[in-house]
Structure 1
């Protein structure tokens, strides 16, 4: 789960596994696989960093960045 902030300032947690798309319109809009949309204060880059961190935490991405081949 990643913690994000709605435009009204209320924080909420979102399961990053259900995120299909993150866009900037200019507000950051997150579209889930079921079509539901959330508009958040974080930038697309911040959302991407949170998602990547979450994926690493649950070992979806493995150790790709920390192991050099």
Structure 2
């Protein structure tokens, strides 16, 4: 889970696995897999780093790298 700050200052904790896309318009916009959008104060790069750290904590980061490396060989 990652904790983010909404534009009005409230915090929200979300499961990073459900993030489909992170964009800057210039506000950072997070689109979840259910197509709901969230606007947060953190920069796109900050959110990406939080997601990376979350994936490392739950063991998905290394798995993603290994699968990606296998896919590059074909």
Please confirm whether the aligned pair reaches a TM-score higher than 0.5, indicating the same fold: yes
Rg comparison, structure with higher value: 2
CA distance in 2, matches of 1:11, 1:36: 17
What 5-or-longer segments of structure 1 have no aligned partner?
A: 65-69
How many aligned positions are there? Answer: 65
The TM-score with structure 1 as length reference comes to: 0.88
Gaps of 5+ in 2: 65-74
Higher helix share: 2
TM-score (structure 2 length as normaliser): 0.83
Runs of 4+ in 1 over 6 A off after TM superposition: none
Shift of 1:61: 1.1
Supply the RMSD in Å over aligned alpha carbons: 1.7
